[in-house]
Amino acid sequence: MGKIVYAAAASHTAQMIRAANVLNETQRAAVYGAWETLRINLEASRPDALIVAASEHFKTFHLDNMPTFCIGLGERTRSWGEGGVPKYEIPLHRELGQALLEGLLEAGHEVAYSYDMPLDHGFACPLHFLTPTMNIPIVPIFVNCYAPPLPAMRRCLELGQALAALIARSNVAARVAVVGTGGLSHWLPAPKFGAGADEEDARMIDAMTHAGRDDVYTEIILRRVKRMSEDGTARVNEEFDHEVMDALLSGQAAALARRGTDWVEEHGGNGGQEIRNWIFAAGAAGERGASVIAYQPIRRWLTGIGFMQWQT
């Protein structure tokens, strides 16, 4: 029988790797110290497999075929290496991924699957810090957090709960770690659709819709992010960030999930929709107590940066 021996949630941004120089000493110590704490604790838990729930930013999935949830299967995958994050070859836990897919489908969770699912910085950034030698086989679970309509947050909670139940009944991996990554509050410079859209927006939407045009989207979004970082227009909502973490600390993931997509969009921004992955991790962790490792509102990175861990 399997057991979840580690559960955590962490923010990600490719700027953690390419733009560390914009942080002050307090921010730098908090962020990279938190990653080191999570890495040490993950290593100490001696997992056979690491499940990572993350979003994806129009590198692997596009608007012409966007799954709600997708599990990466097979022996190995690789990261795209976009946004300043290194390219990695990443081992997959084939048996656990297959067992989770079959079990989730049998339980009524209509998840997609892919035997060729490259990972963007949403996955590769946390893996860069948590397992820099890529020596822990993973099961990547994509959660659509950017292409509306988005999954209800309660479905993410239920998916985490179902996953924990399957692991407890499975004999393919005795010791399993779970990480949900994304958020917290941030407003990304997404293109406008319809009225008010300009030529650049149209180019981004075209790249978001069809594979093979990813460089166009990446070039524009990075330029827009850089401009917001430098001109002081980036927003972070600390109240939202603390409300999310406080709810998870007090075991109120279900109540948080009921707040819904519109509430997140208003108070946490389009990037704040990634709290779905934190809620997923909370569902997998179950009744365990949790603690906040660190939190910093980093406007130069456009993001409220937080780290949590559940007791195991």
pLDDT digits (tens, 9 = 90+) for 188-225: 888 888 777 788 888 888 888 988 887 888 888 888 88
Residue 180 C-alpha from the chain's centroid:
5
State phi, psi for 9 to the nearest 5 degrees. Answer: -135, 145
First to last CA, the chain: 16
Check residue 191 and give its pLDDT.
85
- Give all strands (DSSP E) within 144-281, no chain letters: 175-181
- State pLDDT tens for residues 245-264: 999 999 999 999 999 999 99
- State pLDDT tens for residues 233-247: 889 999 999 999 999
C-beta of residue 72 within 8 angstroms of C-beta of residue 91: no
Q: What topology is assigned to 3-187+234-310 in CATH?
A: Protocatechuate 4,5-dioxygenase; Chain B (3.40.830)
Check residue 55 and give its pLDDT.
95
Cβ neighbourhood burial of 157 (10 Å; 0-12, 13-18, 19+): buried
Residue ranges of domains in the chain:
3-187+234-310
Check residue 145 and give its pLDDT.
97
- State pLDDT tens for residues 26-76: 999 999 999 999 999 999 999 999 999 999 998 999 999 999 999 999 999
pTM of the model: 0.95
Check residue 193 and give its pLDDT.
80
Check residue 225 and give its pLDDT.
82
Q: How confident is the model at residue 231 (pLDDT cuts 50, 70, 90)?
A: confident
In whole angstroms, how far apart are CA 134 and each of 137, 142, 152, 173? 8, 19, 32, 18
Q: How confident is the model at residue 228 (pLDDT cuts 50, 70, 90)?
A: confident
Bridge pairing between strands 49-54 and 175-181:
parallel
Task: Report the C-alpha gap between 262 and 291 in whole angstroms.
Answer: 27
Percent of the chain as helix, strand, coil, to the nearest 5: 45, 20, 35
Q: How confident is the model at residue 1 (pLDDT cuts 50, 70, 90)?
A: confident
